[in-house]
Amino acid sequence: MKIAIGNDHAGVDLKEKVADFLKGKGYEVENVGTDTKESVDYPDIARKVAKLVNDKECEFGIVICGTGIGISIAANKVPGIRCALCHNSFTAKLSRLHNNSNVLSLGARVIGDELALDIVDAYLTTDFEGGRHARRVDKIEEC
């Protein structure tokens, strides 16, 4: 499975830890984020991740900024993207199970490294439940 990962300057360190974690689990990682702490605009990064997911070049995306808020808002502006900002493994799991999210957002200044890795693991190991939730996801796509 291939995962697109993108980050702004605030998310460089966490992106590197998440990418290493993913590679250790056997995932292929497409890095479209910055590798320096020089200021960049997170909407540009969110758009790159969203495009890779929408074009089916990557199964999922992970976006990281300081709080996870701005980059998730930007990702959600792209039609077809359902980006979930998660602060724990429970919300990560439910974002997949009930909302069929395809991009995970993390706040590098909000959560610690170990929690971030737990969130990523919960997110990527949970499948969409479908059923009544599929109808709701379809309605989201109509918005």
Could you confirm whether 98 is annotated as catalytic?
A: yes
Give residue 53's domain range: 2-142
- Given a cut of 90, whether residue 141 has pLDDT beyond it is no
Catalytic residue among 58, 65, 83, 86: 65
Alpha-carbon distance 60 to 95, whole Å?
13
Q: Is 135 annotated as a binding residue?
A: no
- Total domains in the fold of the chain: 1
Q: Is 133 annotated as a binding residue?
A: no
pLDDT per residue as tens digits for the range 85-103: 999 999 999 999 999 999 9
Average pLDDT over residues 99-108: 98
- Given a cut of 90, whether residue 143 has pLDDT beyond it is no
Q: Which amino acid is at 82?
A: R
Could you confirm whether 87 is annotated as catalytic?
A: no
Which distant-in-sequence residues (6+ apart) come within 8 Å of 73 by Cβ? none
Count Cα atoms within 13 angstroms, Cβ side, for 55.
Answer: 8
pLDDT per residue as tens digits for the range 71-80: 999 999 999 9
Q: What is the CA radius of gyration of the chain?
A: 14
- Given a cut of 90, whether residue 142 has pLDDT beyond it is no
The domain that holds 91 is classified in CATH as: 3.40.1400.10
Nearest to 64 by CA among 3, 9, 122: 9
Q: Is 112 annotated as a binding residue?
A: no
